[in-house]
Amino acid sequence: MENNQIICLNKKTLIRYKLDNSRINNRWPFAKEGLPFILVGCAVTFFFFYLGFLQLSIIAGILSIFIVFFFRDPDRSNTVTDRAVLTPADGKILEVLHLKDSNNPLGEPALKVSIFMSIFDVHVNRIPIGGIIQKITYNPGKFFSANLDKASQQNENNRITLIHPGSCRIVFVQIAGLIARRISCWVKEGSHVEAGQRFGLIRFGSRLEVYLPDDSKIIAQPHQKVKAGETIIGYLS
């Protein structure tokens, strides 16, 4: 298989590990993953309209507008310091935990921040801090609702380990939810990435988690609303 692409496939989820600059540097108002859905929605709307089924045409049109809304991909910018950690996802902070043992994706005592994305949030994920992608690991699993605690341990997920300059490691995890059955990852191992750049997307409600060294300073609070690539959730020491 080509070096720049690894595909993990099961009956429910397709994950691509691929350096995809067209998506990372997207200039469209919506994520390119949404284009097939948008085109189908528009085609169905015009089909019903052409046949004279006005009510069905209106319903299909409303659904098409929602699809465009769901896949929206607004430009984001930030002027954060080198040690600042941004949220990788829009949504709401579910919890901030201090993990005292090594039984976590970072493999050492860590601070964990969990973010829940509802279907109304922007679903494009962004890099929390600049560095080099050291490892990407896909883990099959279940599809519990992403706002439940057990989703963190049991749901299908994609773990990304990043080395920040100075050899500090962090891990951020894309977690599938009850409806989300596809995780897209647009970076690959060895990629140099910048804070706030796009790196992936999860469709239809999901969860992101960030694991930081336990000497980091977390400023995020449970129930806080956050915006990917803009909101600072903490600082590395």
How far CA 42 is from CA of 47, 48, 63, 183, in Å, comes to 8, 10, 9, 25
Does residue 203 contact residue 33 with C-beta atoms inside 8 Å?
Answer: yes
CATH fold of 5-25+78-235: Glucose Permease (Domain IIA) (2.70.70)
Q: In what order do the strands lie in the sheet with 124-126?
A: 5-9, 14-18, 183-185, 198-202, 124-126
Total-model pTM: 0.89
Structural tokens at position 221 = 């609070």
Domain ranges of the chain: 5-25+78-235, 32-70
Q: Work out the burial of residue 45: count CB atoms within 10 Å of its CB; fewer than 13 is exposed, 13-18 middle, 19 or more buried.
A: buried
Return d(Cα 53, Cα 57) in angstroms, integer.
Answer: 6
Check if the beta carbon of residue 100 is closer than 8 Å to that of residue 84: no
Q: pLDDT of 37-57, one tens digit each?
A: 999 999 999 999 999 999 999
Question: Which amino acid, 193?
Answer: V
Residues with active-site annotation: 206
Backbone angles phi, psi at 40, to 5 degrees: -65, -45
Average pLDDT value over all residues in the chain: 90
pLDDT above 80 for 87? yes
In this predicted structure, the answer to whether residue 14 has a pLDDT above a threshold of 50 is no
Rounded to 10°, the helix 35-51/54-70 angle is 170
pLDDT tens-digit profile of 150-169?
988 899 999 999 999 977 99
Question: Is the pLDDT at 15 greater than 90, yes or no?
Answer: no
